[in-house]
Structure 1
Amino acid sequence: MPFPVAPGPRRLRKAAAPPPGPPESAAPESAAPESAAPAGRSRSGGPRPGGESGPSPHRSVFRPDIEGLRAVAVLAVLAFHAGIPAATGGFVGVDIFFVISGYLITGLLVREAITTGRIRLGDFFSRRARRLLPSAAVVLAVVAVAGAWLTVPLRRADLEHDVVAAALSFANWRFVGQQTDYLAAGHAQSPLLHFWSLAVEEQFYLAWGPLLAVIVLFAAGAVRRGRAVRAAVALVAAPVALASFALALYWTDRSVSLAYLGTPSRVWQFGVGALLALLPWHLMRGPRPLRLVCGWSGAAAIAWCVLAYDASTPYPGCAALVPTLGAAAVILAAIPGRGERNAQGAYGVGRLLAGRAPRAIGRLSYNLYLWHWPVLVLAEARFGTLGWPAKTALTLAAVLPALATLRWIEQPLRRSRTVSELPRRGLSVGISAIVLPIVLALVAGTTTLNLLGPAAPVDVKGLPPGAATGPALLARTPGAALPAGPVVPAPLQARKDFPPDGPCEVAPAVTSSPACLFGAVDSPDRIVLLGDSHAGQWFSPVLALAARRGWALQELVKQGCPLPQLAVHNPQLGRGYRECDTWRADALERLRQGPKPRLIVIASLNRYTADPGRLAAGWEKTLKPLRALGAPIVYIEDTPVPGTDIPACVSGSPDSPEDCAFDRADARQPDPLARRIAAGALPGVRSVSVNPVLCPGDGPTCPAVVDRILLYRDDAHLTNAAAVVLAPRLERLLTEAAGLPAPDTAGTGGAPGGRDADGSDGAGATPGADGWTRLLRDDFDGPAGRPPSAARWIHDVGTCYPGCPAPQWGTGEIETMTDSTENVRLDGEGALEIVPTRKNGRWSSGRIETRRSDFAPPPGGVLRIEASIALPDVTGAKAAGYWPAFWTLGAPLRDGYTGWPGVGEIDVMESVNGRDTVFGSMHCGVLDGGPCREPVGLTSGPQPCAGCRTGFHTYAVEVDRAPGAEEVRWYRDGRLSHRVSADRMDRATWLRAVDHGLFLILNVAIGGGLPQADGGTPGPATEPGHAMRVDHVTVSTREGAAR
């Protein structure tokens, strides 16, 4: 909101009558305007330079009515921000300020050009800096400090950037980049949102001042300098204003934030004021009654806008003409003609605006505008949503800091001769003042970012066949305590945790989706994902479903566009969403003309209308052409809508995210389409829902975090991490609902007939002479420094599976797993090396697992898993924290099983801290306790293993399913070392642990629960670089009960 600098004196001087003069004789930027000398004479008595009479370049008659008009403008804005019901259009106060600013500042500069023949830009910017920047700097500094205290950490991180943007006068572009809808902005927005208008003004004058200076260079030498300068400036201002207005109309129809906050779409309002300042004097000599009508008409137009406009008004388009021209009419009507003392007499609007109360508010308007919005926003950050009476009281309270800033900062600097004598001093004062809030914001922001954790988005891009999608969310008991540890993704990550679909979730202005094919793009089979952003949030799970079958995924998704055919209003565009209707028709036509999909997955927000009849009709219009395609259609019921900024809330409650639970009744509204599908009203359409996981139980609230997974990236959409974690569950639901075939075994990395995925003869299809059928054999042959076979092995990377259901791999280990050959490589001599390394105090290591997850004994037979391993050759303090292991997990865990350890874990070999001992264990049942004594498990305990660090030893497990004699046996170097029989537990627990396929894992961890239990915590003395070496891995089966 612009404020032409330096209001006039507290009262009109009575020593001299106001001289007749052009519009620019209104109050300029100067500290204290003095009575001008009679027109046509300089104070020395000589004629003015330039051939025309006029006032001195920086002194003129004070316009009290304009100061009163500033009061009207600021009161309108304050009433709008306070939420006073009658002032829904109070945002037009900003437009009034733009007109006033263009009128006063252009008049000031043109008058200087006429008087002196040039424009002193240094003086101009110096006056602006010392007038505007110190007060702004105080507000910014207070907001930086108070915001760090009153707001949640995630908003503090945003506030740092807001302070810097406001201090450097580009706040409007920052908010444009965030697609901020100013008219719909609640107090969850930035406490510095109002600085957008100050930024617009400064950007305008950074261009307008130099442009006028250039114009003056060409016009100042004319015989009639005043007329030439005015004409030249008008010839530039008029087309610029017209072009800006045309751009405002164009942008208003396409982007509310860009149209409202962008500088180019606001220039025309400054231009209206500028043209008003350039009017020839004879046009101001109309009859006083006409000027009286002009002034009151302008005031009535402003009042009508304040009362009639609201957030749904397309703005600033044609609607902005009314308050803009209304302000111009008020200013024009009060300009005195030659020889006049009062332009409108006792009944003009100017007389009312020049009253003592309006002028007092006008003098305070700049500082009041600076203070009121932060007071409102920070109060709501501390106390929650407030009603309009409370906000009105807070707005009135903002008068106190505004008065203090005016009295002790603005006025002393404005009146200081020391500061005003040289332009560079004014610039130095302003620039120096603005450094303080920037420093405070950067310090607070850095501290906050350290608390918030990593900012990079969670890496779950691309889901290859069989990739670990992470366990699904646990169906927790409502009200149960959450597991300890940080949430994943971190709140700062969550804000950026979008589906990795690039430009395929198209923006509001786009009317046709690009060709968005993913997965096996050349496959004749494809799945279609269709809908709005609530469909787009399922991109990763649906891509996984397609990829596991070797199919393509076609995504047709548009932001804020209801899939049912409904006419809706788009807040970003500020009007009816025509682009949505065009896009929807285009998407349906593309599906009609394209290949028949194997499956159409649809989803859409179910809150576009509260009219069930209208919604049903809209769905019928969309589903009719979709059903005609003959493909299965599955609707994913709409997910809960929290209605509050979940990452921000969680950032403020890191140790108790359950405090961020939200109301179930509001979040999970009835889904009319799901009800119609369930009733059989739409043949060929099925529905599925993951809402029992997202909002379990029947309590009054839904959780924001489940098992440490942060579910929402904003107030309505799932994080991509949550979607990935839910992928296995959703795949099962979609597969069952659509009647799809199960994915081919080869799709998970195995191959029919028991052969390896690369087709090598390490996996025979027929039993050998000993009765064993080999399913896998890897001797790790190959050149040194190469990774292991990608056909057989998957690299686990990071500190958890995608979606991070179990951070630090669920054990507390501290390393980051990588796929670098620094950590996992062939040694060139027929062995695999897994090497933990440490750089800059950070550990990294390697963890690989078999692509196949279907290793299982035949019915009544035996599965044997074997590896020849040399443990890391390090001991003592240098080995503290080392944890090499060879182990298996149940295949359902890869597919998203919930509830380790029930699905089973078999530790073929583990060793910790460089001890000459090894362990073998089986994990099953439930946590804690149970028949498997979790979390310790059914373990062999430490068994002596002399020489295990200096040479290869063979470790094996056999899973025997012989009827009546089922057990798991451990062997070292061919000798039985441990066994767990089925009768150690109930039948159901045993079957859950072994009645499925297994996949194998090789890794070296650093730190974690087992090394710590053995007294070994990694420290500075722990020595990196010691490899676990694996000579071979073999998996075989045997028919019958081999004992």
Structure 2
Amino acid sequence: MAASFRPDIQGLRALAVGGVVAYHFGLSALPGGFAGVDIFFVISGWLITTHLMGEITETGRLDLWRFYARRARRLLPAALFVILATLGAGYFILAPQEQALYSRGAMFASAYAINLWLLRWSFDYFAADALSNPFIHFWSLSVEEQFYLVWPALLLFAAWLRPGRRMAVAVIGVAGLASFAACLWLTSLSPAWAFYFSPLRAWEFAAGGLATLAPAALWQQRPWLRSAQGWLGLALIAVAYLSLSEDLPFPGWYALLPVAGTVLVLLSGAGEENDAAPTIPARWQALAPASLLSLPPLQWVGTLSYSLYLWHWPVIVYAGMLAPDLSVLQRFGCGALALALAFLTYHLIENPARRGGWLTAGARALAPALALTGVGVAAAYANAHLATRNIDPAQRGIEQAAEQPSIARATDKNCLLDFHTVKPKPCTFGPVDAAHTIVLFGDSHADHWSTPLVEAARRNDTKVVTYLKSSCRASRLSTFNTVLKRDYTECDAWREQAIADIIRRKPRLVVISEFSIGNLTRDMPAAGRKAETARWQAGLRSTLQAFSQAGVETAVIRDTPIGDSFADSCVARALWWREPPSRCDTPRAQAANDGAAAQERAVVKSVPDTRYVDLTDRFCGPTQCRVFIGGKLAFRDRHHLATAFAETLEGPLEKALF
């Protein structure tokens, strides 16, 4: 019933883990390396369906205890070891509040349910804050384990309807199509669910299952066609690695590239382990993709692929915390360390557990398997409890400062609109009978000024009306939304309605602030930066002219600096390490974008009734931009002001605006 060993599948495992490691280690040449996980999913679907269908065909039943015992021996010991080691290392590296948070993630990782925890907390796999979560990569293992729980029942259901491959193909096909349709629908509507939720990834496992049930076909009689098919599959995988990126809506249609490629490679080698299959002539065997995938280095990496996948992510996460600007040589060193840990884990834990008898077959395997899971959950829970007790007043102050909302977000008015809302929702702060009205207009970078602005306005008999929308700039500039993975058309519609509404109000002043300079001009080639900056300047000028022509005065607050690290977690770690918070500062030349600000200032000066407010010297000195100022956390992440610190800017803001 067990499938014969296929070196080409081992080589595919090496390609899969290699892509994932390259992506996570920042190899820009393979921006789609994350699709290696999809290769693993297809391989799992192929192997598990092969094994289960073989047992059903031979015995008419499934020994589920034996099946789950094999899965437990294969997965649990190594995973538990890495989880415990990562928790232990985290005590010395992570701040206590991070330890408490990620220990909860470790609990769910131990129970193979971390994908559901990530959905609960809306973690985006591609978001910058995911870089500090040392357990986030366990999401794919959780999806696989959940697949193992459901797949045998699906195949048994097919056999109950009618024994044979045809009914199995029909049942798997229907389930796969339903999963794929739902995945397509939610990739744009709710990307996190499409990415993490196992039923929406089931179609990838189904693709592998359907492939193994495919009947003998034309290519199995024609060696040259089998070789061509295999090379086409490898080409599709290469295209996925080279062309996919985190900016594309994934999985969706794009996941078909690695999935189809893997299916073609698997089919090209199908039947070779079967003595009854046609023998491939030696000259065609040499040209088959299996000859490449069977190379010793790929076989070695494929053997270590599971342990390497477990280790590579916590290694690079912790290294990035200890040395934020890792050099290429240091990244290679991290890769070597991950490989060494994988080698030791495979030979000392993974392989002995798989071959040993302590996780025995049958119902007796349930007790040690549950014990291993319980150890992981209990250790993570205890670590979370201990970490919570280690949070001292200074650490608690950092946490509270990062979590304190602005006045616009603290109310129950939902003043900062979400991505999908198009109709403007003005919020009013201050006395309704105030002598004057000013408007705060922009995105979350306008929102973080709302607290000091409302207080300054109150002192000047002025009410504040906010027009705020997440990631939506006041400048007339169409942008790409990295969360929605598409053009942000809702922003364009909202902006035009908001501008018209503001003009109708005839306020004394419109205050604009937006995440513009850094987001639009950093980390771009020189030519692209020049073109994008010109486009942004034109959009800003258009908005300012609309207000100027309507006789409404406008003030533009210069964008805040962008730090290299998340200020809250970096400062918390610095305090935990007994180091000064200044280790989290960023050089001014890198953070403040003075050149782009000069271009912004030039646009503002060219439009009548418009002024420029520059408070950058409150964050930055001549050489450094600080994140901890006057005993207060200045930023709650990389570029949003912490509300308690923003309150200290009321005086300078009042002087500039009133």
TM over 0.5: yes
Aligned-pair CA distance for 1:154: 4.3
Counterpart of 1:555?
466
Query: Closer, same or farther in 2 for the Cα pair 1:693/1:372, shift >3 Å?
Result: closer
Contact in 1 for aligned 2:65/2:362 (Cα 8 Å): no
Contact in 2 for aligned 1:452/1:651 (Cα 8 Å): no
Give the whole-Å Cα distance in 2 for the aligned partners of 1:351 and 1:706: 61
AA paired with 2:591?
A
**RMSD of the TM alignment (CA)?**
3.0
Corresponding residue to 2:543 among 603, 622, 627: 622
Q: Which moved more, 1:241-250 or 1:535-544?
A: 241-250
AA paired with 1:429?
P
Structure with more contact order per residue of length (Cα contacts < 8 Å, sep ≥ 6): 2
Contact in 1 for aligned 2:46/2:209 (Cα 8 Å): yes
Counterpart of 1:821?
none
Asked whether 1:445 is paired with 2:384, we answer yes
Q: Deviations over 1:74-106 (max 9, x none)?
A: 222222233334333222211111111111112
AA paired with 1:648?
S
Asked whether 1:641 is paired with 2:562, we answer yes
Structure-to-structure mapping, 1:708-719, within 5 angstroms: 708-719=631-642
Counterpart of 1:676?
602
Query: Closer, same or farther in 2 for the Cα pair 1:356/1:633, shift >3 Å?
Result: closer
Give the whole-Å Cα distance in 2 for the aligned partners of 1:334 and 1:522: 79
AA paired with 1:662?
T
Q: TM-score scaled by structure 2?
A: 0.87
Give the whole-Å Cα distance in 2 for the aligned partners of 1:672 and 1:279: 64
Give the whole-Å Cα distance in 1 for the aligned partners of 2:146 and 2:51: 18
Query: Closer, same or farther in 2 for the Cα pair 1:119/1:543, shift >3 Å?
Result: farther
Counterpart of 1:601?
511
Aligned-pair CA distance for 1:141: 0.3
User: Higher strand proportion, which one?
Assistant: 1
Q: How many positions carry a matched residue from both structures?
A: 633
Q: Deviations over 1:649-671 (max 9, x none)?
A: 22123363344333223222232
Aligned-pair CA distance for 1:138: 0.1
Contact in 2 for aligned 1:284/1:335 (Cα 8 Å): no
Q: Which moved more, 1:207-216 or 1:546-555?
A: 546-555
Query: Closer, same or farther in 2 for the Cα pair 1:581/1:254, shift >3 Å?
Result: farther
Give the whole-Å Cα distance in 2 for the aligned partners of 1:376 and 1:661: 22
Q: Deviations over 1:401-424 (max 9, x none)?
A: 22222222222222234532323x
Structure-to-structure mapping, 1:651-670, within 5 angstroms: 651-654=572-575, 656-670=580-594
Give the whole-Å Cα distance in 2 for the aligned partners of 1:121 and 1:510: 49
Corresponding residue to 2:351 among 411, 415, 423: 411
Structure-to-structure mapping, 1:134-153, within 5 angstroms: 134-153=77-96
Contact in 2 for aligned 1:643/1:716 (Cα 8 Å): no
Query: Closer, same or farther in 2 for the Cα pair 1:123/1:617, shift >3 Å?
Result: same
Q: TM-score scaled by structure 1?
A: 0.57
% of aligned pairs identical? 34
Query: Closer, same or farther in 2 for the Cα pair 1:168/1:630, shift >3 Å?
Result: farther
Q: Deviations over 1:493-548 (max 9, x none)?
A: 23322221453323334434445444556989643221111101122233335556
Counterpart of 1:295?
230
Counterpart of 2:10?
67
Contact in 1 for aligned 2:447/2:468 (Cα 8 Å): yes
Give the whole-Å Cα distance in 2 for the aligned partners of 1:511 and 1:264: 31
AA paired with 2:499?
L
Give the whole-Å Cα distance in 2 for the aligned partners of 1:60 and 1:653: 52
Q: Structure 2: where are the runs of 5+ without partners?
A: 522-529
Query: Closer, same or farther in 2 for the Cα pair 1:577/1:678, shift >3 Å?
Result: closer
Give the whole-Å Cα distance in 2 for the aligned partners of 1:537 and 1:346: 63
Aligned-pair CA distance for 1:629: 4.1
Q: Deviations over 1:874-914 (max 9, x none)?
A: xxxxxxxxxxxxxxxxxxxxxxxxxxxxxxxxxxxxxxxxx
Query: Closer, same or farther in 2 for the Cα pair 1:519/1:173, shift >3 Å?
Result: farther
Q: Deviations over 1:265-319 (max 9, x none)?
A: 4222112112112223457644222112111111122123223434444432322
Q: Deviations over 1:832-867 (max 9, x none)?
A: xxxxxxxxxxxxxxxxxxxxxxxxxxxxxxxxxxxx
Corresponding residue to 1:231 among 158, 161, 166: 166
AA paired with 1:665?
A
Contact in 1 for aligned 2:42/2:207 (Cα 8 Å): yes
Asked whether 1:685 is paired with 2:610, we answer yes
Q: Give the secondary-structure state (helix, strand or coil) at the position aligned to 2:556.
A: strand
AA paired with 2:472?
C
Query: Closer, same or farther in 2 for the Cα pair 1:451/1:418, shift >3 Å?
Result: closer
Larger radius of gyration: 1
Asked whether 1:244 is paired with 2:187, we answer no
Aligned-pair CA distance for 1:551: 6.2
Counterpart of 1:527?
438
Corresponding residue to 1:204 among 132, 143, 147: 147
Aligned-pair CA distance for 1:196: 1.7
Contact in 1 for aligned 2:219/2:225 (Cα 8 Å): no
Contact in 2 for aligned 1:73/1:93 (Cα 8 Å): yes
Structure-to-structure mapping, 1:110-121, within 5 angstroms: 110-121=53-64
AA paired with 1:405?
T
Q: Deviations over 1:662-710 (max 9, x none)?
A: 322322223246623774x222222334333333xx4422332222221
Counterpart of 2:25?
82
User: Higher helix proportion, which one?
Assistant: 2
Q: Deviations over 1:978-1014 (max 9, x none)?
A: xxxxxxxxxxxxxxxxxxxxxxxxxxxxxxxxxxxxx
Asked whether 1:100 is paired with 2:48, we answer no
Corresponding residue to 1:329 among 259, 264, 289: 264
Q: Give the secondary-structure state (helix, strand or coil) at the position aligned to 1:582.
A: helix
Corresponding residue to 2:627 among 704, 709, 733: 704
Counterpart of 1:432?
371
Q: Deviations over 1:536-594 (max 9, x none)?
A: 112223333555677654322222222212233322233333332233223223334x5
Q: Give the secondary-structure state (helix, strand or coil) at the position aligned to 1:580.
A: helix
Counterpart of 1:388?
328
Give the whole-Å Cα distance in 1 for the aligned partners of 2:371 and 2:430: 56
Query: Closer, same or farther in 2 for the Cα pair 1:239/1:86, shift >3 Å?
Result: same
Asked whether 1:541 is paired with 2:452, we answer yes
Corresponding residue to 2:105 among 140, 146, 162: 162
Give the whole-Å Cα distance in 1 for the aligned partners of 2:653 and 2:8: 67
Asked whether 1:319 is paired with 2:254, we answer yes
Corresponding residue to 1:507 among 418, 430, 441: 418
AA paired with 1:125?
Y
Corresponding residue to 2:244 among 291, 303, 309: 309
Q: Structure 1: where are the runs of 5+ without partners?
A: 1-57, 220-224, 455-485, 737-1043
Give the whole-Å Cα distance in 2 for the aligned partners of 1:216 and 1:586: 59
Aligned-pair CA distance for 1:135: 0.6
Give the whole-Å Cα distance in 1 for the aligned partners of 2:5 and 2:482: 42
Corresponding residue to 2:399 among 469, 492, 501: 492
